[in-house]
């Protein structure tokens, strides 16, 4: 199993999750983060850190979000590691309240 970043992260990228990951398995895209499922050790630490509750255990991903399981696996092989917290995206707080935004995902 692994943990999975889902839709709520898009256009926010708060990156609080990155600081607690003991194995540095977050990968960064233009407006979204993913977890490399081959590196994640299921420690659960990142879940509570995300202010928009974007991170789920693979088995607990809501039905409406299951496409993000494959997306994390795919994009984690293309994107570069992020190992330190940084400022969220400029309009993160406005987008944090938007639930349907997967069409905004940039690769």
Radius of gyration, alpha carbons of the chain: 12
Q: Does 55 bind ligand F3S (CB under 6 A)?
A: yes
Query: Which residues, numbered 65-104, are part of the site for ligand F3S (CB under 6 A)?
Result: none
The answer to whether 58 touches 4, Cβ cutoff 8 Å, is yes
**Interaction of residue 69 with ligand SF4, rule CB under 6 A:** no
Side-chain-side CA neighbours of 70 within 13 Å: the count stands at 2
**Distance spanning both ends of the chain, measured CA to CA:** 24
| Closer by beta carbon to ligand F3S, 40 or else 54 | 54
Q: Binder to ligand F3S among 52, 71, 75, 89 (CB under 6 A)?
A: 52
Binding site for ligand SF4 (CB under 6 A): 3, 20-21, 23, 25, 35, 40-46
């Amino acid at each position: 199993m692994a943990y999975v970043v889902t839709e709520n992260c898009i256009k926010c990228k708060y990156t609080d999750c990155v600081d607690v990951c003991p194995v540095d398995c977050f990968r960064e895209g233009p407006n979204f983060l993913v977890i490399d499922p081959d590196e994640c050790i299921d420690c659960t630490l990142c879940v509570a850190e995300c202010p928009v509750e974007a991170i789920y255990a693979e088995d607990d991903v809501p039905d409406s979000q299951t496409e993000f399981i494959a997306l994390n696996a795919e994009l984690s092989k293309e994107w570069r590691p992020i190992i330190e917290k940084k400022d969220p995206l400029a309009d993160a707080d406005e987008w944090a309240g938007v639930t349907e935004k997967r069409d905004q995902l940039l690769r």
